[in-house]
Amino acid sequence: MTSRGPVHRVCVCIPTYQERDSLPDVLRRVRQAVPEADVLVVDDASPDGTGELADRVAAVDPRVHVLHRPGKEGLGPAYLAAFDWAAQRGFDAVVEMDADGSHQPEELPALLAAADHGPGADVVIGSRWVQGGSVHRWPWHRRLLSVGANTYTRLALGLHVHDATAGFRVYRLPQLTALVAGPVASQGYCFQVDLTRRAVEAGLRVVEVPIAFVERVEGSSKMTGDIVQEAVVLVGVWAWQRRTRQLREHLAGRDRSRWHHLEEAT
């Protein structure tokens, strides 16, 4: 069983690329919602000056930090860099959230409470697709894509999670560090699925908390055909690996049973 101590030090990790218009309001709301938490902006050399804007905020707010990366490498590598930054500074938990305003900072206390209260959780997912969750300003085809992707993922990988692609999360850092100790191949939004399946396979306690997801007002979505293709391919590979592992375990168990019966007969 995982040991879950109290969550005292929290780092809210916000990856950015071309988020100059939305970032100031998101930072203000995060600092109001969880004033005791630190915030790390991870900027991939945004050409619109997002990184420089974050630097100006950090210069006057000691709870805001900025990690500059040399170029756009994808969501997964940005988060891995953020996790490493937080681990080196002794944080108890990290939060994943977007910089575009689609994740409501006012819901952060509820997610953190799920990690800290009662038996606690190792991973808390802000879920759109559990009872009480909702999505606003999405056209029907975006809803269909998300529901279909999560259904495909849940069935293919045998997960109990309804929103494995969600990007609004809390991880206890010691458990997260173990999850990402090996190579993480996924670059885009499939990164969330990858960490979800790793958490479930590791026996961690994963809980979902309903959230209201609001489609961005400024900027444009980072979802591309390449990201969708990556998710379809990788989930298929993971599903095949899972089925192969299950088959090996079944055959090994059957062989052990056969030898046990032979030994008894002799």
> Could you tell me which residue, 265 or 37, shows the higher pLDDT?
37
Closest CA to 183 of 172, 191, 173, 175: 191
Going from the C-alpha of 157 to that of each of 168, 207, 230, 239, 251, the distances in angstroms are 21, 17, 16, 5, 20
- Residue 82: which pLDDT band, with cuts at 50, 70 and 90? very high
Tens of pLDDT, residue by residue over 158-167, are 999 999 999 9
Predicted local distance difference test score (pLDDT) of residue 227:
66
Axis-axis angle for helices 190-201, 140-157 (nearest 10): 30
Are 167 and 74 contacting, i.e. CB atoms less than 8 angstroms apart? no
- Residue 102: which pLDDT band, with cuts at 50, 70 and 90? very high
Using CA atoms of 106, 111, 113, 115 in order, give the dihedral in degrees to the nearest 10: -160
Predicted local distance difference test score (pLDDT) of residue 231:
73
Please give the structure tokens belonging to residue 224: 């591309």
Tens of pLDDT, residue by residue over 202-258, are 999 999 999 999 987 655 555 566 667 777 788 788 778 888 877 887 677 665 666
What is the mean predicted confidence (pLDDT) over 59-81?
Answer: 95
| Residue in the block written with tokens 């916000």 | 14
CATH top-level class of 10-265: alpha beta
Going from the C-alpha of 173 to that of each of 88, 92, 166, the distances in angstroms are 11, 5, 18
Q: With helix as H, strand as E and coil as C, how does 55-73 read?
A: HHHHHHCCCEEEEECCCCC
> Could you tell me which residue, 20 or 1, shows the higher pLDDT?
20
Beta strands in the chain (DSSP E): 10-16, 38-43, 64-68, 93-96, 123-127, 134-136, 169-172, 206-210, 212-214
Are 162 and 154 contacting, i.e. CB atoms less than 8 angstroms apart? yes
Domain chopping of the chain, boundaries:
10-265
Predicted local distance difference test score (pLDDT) of residue 201:
92
> Could you tell me which residue, 130 or 184, shows the higher pLDDT?
130
What's the length of the chain? 266
Q: Please state, for a pLDDT cut of 70, what percent of the chain lies above it.
A: 88
What is the mean predicted confidence (pLDDT) over 74-90?
Answer: 95
* pTM for this entry: 0.86
**Can you list the alpha helix ranges (DSSP code H) found in 19-97?**
23-33, 50-60, 75-88
Rounded to whole angstroms, how far apart are CA atoms 197 and 238?
Answer: 9
Predicted local distance difference test score (pLDDT) of residue 175:
94
